[in-house]
Chains A and B, each alone.
Chain A
Amino acid sequence: MVAYIEAKNVNLIFTPPNRMPVTALKDFNISVGEGEFVSIVGPSGCGKSTFLNVLLGLIPPHSGEMAINGKRVSGPGQDRAMVFQEFGLLPWRTVLNNVELGLELKGVATSERRPVSQKFIEMVGLAGFEGHYPHELSGGMKQRVGLARALATDPDVLLMDEPFAALDAQTRDIMQAELLRIWQEAKKTVLFVTHQIEEAVYLSDRVIVMTKRPGRAKKIIDIPLPRPRDYEMRVTQEFNDLKLQLWNELKDELTVHGNG
């Protein structure tokens, strides 16, 4: 497999004011193929979300190399787009204007960005809601806008930071199925951070298990389930075996020393 996203020996140390420095990522390595759907799971605070922000270009690492399609990552770039856990929609913009934000920042003319944003609004199932403001939408609809906004910039890599964690369980199930449909349609490489084992197994080609802080990639588990995937697969023996395998890797990292 040719590595499409490659991170080598990424180190990141936070120094909060008046506190001891915290090593968030230590010699973090991953390698993702083109068009792959890879999830990262790990205990809370292991640095999995931090890694996405580093890869997005918002936080510079202290050392290490990151490249996407052979191009070194050094700051935000048009080859990547993030879907945020808390949606990150601008409340003073309508659905249409939120989806257009990326194109607008690129300097694409209004007449050109209109059909593009319209296409992705339809793809995420929000046709008819173009003029609505975020406060008029449900959580699931807000995240659909977040997804359309990321896709509208036509990135090669879609980074998703616990995108469904703020949604209720049923909405999450629907959004997972929607994401798989859209992923197959849009053909993007996806790096998906979650703390939910079932979600990771259901969506991914491979799952990376991280250690507790300082976060390293501990184990990579292949998910050989056929595609397209449907909801019934979740009750098969194979699915449950994979969940158990993942759980066994993860549980050692979850043991909290002392209180907890």
Chain B
Amino acid sequence: MNDFVYKWRNPIFGSVSVVLFFLGWEALLTWAIPLNPFIMSKPSLIFEGLWLEMQSGQLWSDLLISGQPFIFGFGAAIVVGIFVGTMMGWRARVGYALDPLLTALYASPLVAIAPLVIIFFGVGVSGKAILIFVLCVFPFVFNTYAGVKSVDRLLVNVVRSLGGNERDIYLKVIVPSVLPFIIAGARYAIGRALVGILVGEFFAATAGIGYRIAWFSDMFELSRMFGYILVMMVVAVLFTEGIRWAERAAFPWRVGM
């Protein structure tokens, strides 16, 4: 029993705070503060609403609709970000030329141009995908750039001295050096992508998680609104924890770094 507790102590302690948070919330609005359903909700109502959304199938269809631009936008950000970052790292002049501009764009709250993107590219999948792409591409660019720049010259020389050619240097030194940087970039990018979905759907959409959150809010259906927000939280946690798990599985050598 004690071994069990010791082995799982991180998830156990982690869940305790989550459970206490919901219990406290429920208790507060049940006994301490009178519940005004127009401006408040409580966990029992939220989970009940969520259960109804699941049973009617509404939640799943919204997830599918929001998932599409996410996959396109995020996929494009991976491909373009890695390509641009690699060019910046390999060709010093490309790096010098692009660094200030891209840094400025990365640092600025690009969500602000969301309405413009929707006007240009419409309310369909493409507008939202482009918004997500714009938000997500920078972590991939800069992490790849940092990764390529930090490749250890000594390791390149080791492979060369043992008879390795350009391809060997690329596959046996550069790719494994840069990959962990890219995965770390993906963790930042996930959060930005979820913001992109929500904001894109707030502005113009007829379905999807973000649309539904905005709609329930307008309708004063706060229990349903919180239910959808909860779903987004779960999705975010699943993604980031999934990436972290994949990192540990794929790069056991980084444990000590």
List residues of A whose CB falls within 8 A of some B CB.
53, 56-58, 76-78, 80-82, 84, 86, 88, 90-93, 101-102, 105-106, 133-136, 149, 153
- Indicate if the CB atoms of A92 and B163 lie closer than 8 Å: no
Which of B107-115, B135-143, B154-162, B193-201 makes up part of the contact surface?
B154-162
Task: Report 10 cross-chain contacts, Cβ distance below 8 Å, ordered by A residue.
Answer: A56-B161, A58-B157, A77-B163, A80-B161, A81-B162, A101-B172, A102-B162, A105-B164, A105-B168, A153-B162
B76 at the interface (CB under 8 A from A): no
Q: Are A88 and B163 touching (Cβ within 8 A)?
A: no
Give the chain B neighbours of A92 by CB distance below 8 A: 176, 251, 253
Contact A90 B176, beta carbon cutoff 8 Å: yes
- Interface membership of B173, Cβ < 8 A: yes
How far apart sit A84 and B164, CA to CA, in the bound complex (Å)? 17
- Tell me which of B157, B159, B164, B257 contacts A91 (CB under 8 A): B257
Measured CA separation A136–B252 after assembly (Å): 11
Task: Name the A residues within 8 Å of B157 (CB-CB).
Answer: 53, 58, 84, 88
A90 touching B162 in the complex, CB below 8 Å, given contacts A105-B168, A134-B253, A135-B253? no
CB distance from B164 to the nearest CB of A (A): 5
Q: Within the complex, what minimum Cβ distance (angstroms) separates A165 from chain B?
A: 14
Closest-by-CB residue of A relative to B165 is: A105
User: Using Cβ atoms and an 8 Å threshold, which residues of chain B touch A81?
Assistant: 161-162
State whether B159 touches A101 (Cβ < 8 A). Answer: yes
Report the minimum CB–CB distance from A29 to chain B (whole Å).
23
Cβ-based interface call for B104 (8 A): no
B160 and A58 form a contact (CB under 8 A): yes
Question: Count of chain B residues with Cβ under 8 Å from any Cβ of A?
Answer: 21
Complexed CA–CA distance, A102 and B158 (Å): 9
A53 cross-chain contacts in B, Cβ below 8 A: 157
Counting CB contacts under 8 A, is B255 at the interface? yes
A54 to B163, CA, bound (A): 15
Interface centre among A58, A84, A88 (most CB of B within 10 A): A88
Contact A76 B161 (CB under 8 A): yes
18 more A-B contacts (CB under 8 A) besides A81-B161, A101-B162, A135-B255? A58-B160, A76-B161, A76-B163, A77-B163, A80-B161, A82-B161, A84-B154, A84-B157, A88-B157, A90-B155, A92-B176, A92-B251, A101-B158, A102-B163, A135-B253, A135-B256, A135-B257, A136-B256
Interface centre among B162, B251, B257 (most CB of A within 10 A): B162
A105 to B173, CA, bound (A): 12
Which residues on the B side are within 8 Å of A88 (C-beta)? 154-155, 157-158
Specify which chain A residues have a CB less than 8 angstroms from the CB of B254 in the assembled complex: 91
Inside 8 A of A135's CB, which chain B residues have their CB? Answer: 253, 255-257
Q: Which residues of A contact B159 (CB under 8 A)?
A: 101, 105
Chain A: minimal CB distance from B97 (Å): 18
When A102-B163, A106-B163 are in contact, do A84 and B158 touch as well, CB less than 8 Å?
Answer: yes
The answer for the CA separation of A80 and B161 in the assembled complex, in Å, is 8
Bound CA span A86–B157, Å: 12
Q: How many angstroms from the CA of A134 to the CA of B158 in the assembled complex?
A: 15
Residue of B at shortest CB range from A155? B162
Chain A residues with CB under 8 Å of B158's CB are 82, 84, 88, 90, 101
Q: Which 6 A-B pairs have the closest CB atoms?
A: A135-B256, A88-B158, A102-B162, A133-B253, A92-B176, A92-B253
**Bound Cα distance A82, B162 (Å):** 9
- Complex Cα gap A88–B161 (Å): 11
How far apart are A188's CB and chain B's nearest CB, in angstroms? Answer: 16
Min CB–CB distance B155 → chain A (angstroms): 6
Chain B proximity of A226: nearest CB distance (Å): 34
Does B160 lie within 8 Å of A76, measured CB to CB?
Answer: yes
Least distance between B75 CB and chain A CB atoms (Å) = 26
Q: Which residues of chain A are within 8 angstroms of B255 by Cβ–Cβ distance? A: 135
> How far is it, in angstroms, between the C-alpha of A81 and the C-alpha of B158 when the chains are bound?
9
Q: Which residues of B contact A101 (CB under 8 A)?
A: 158-159, 162, 172
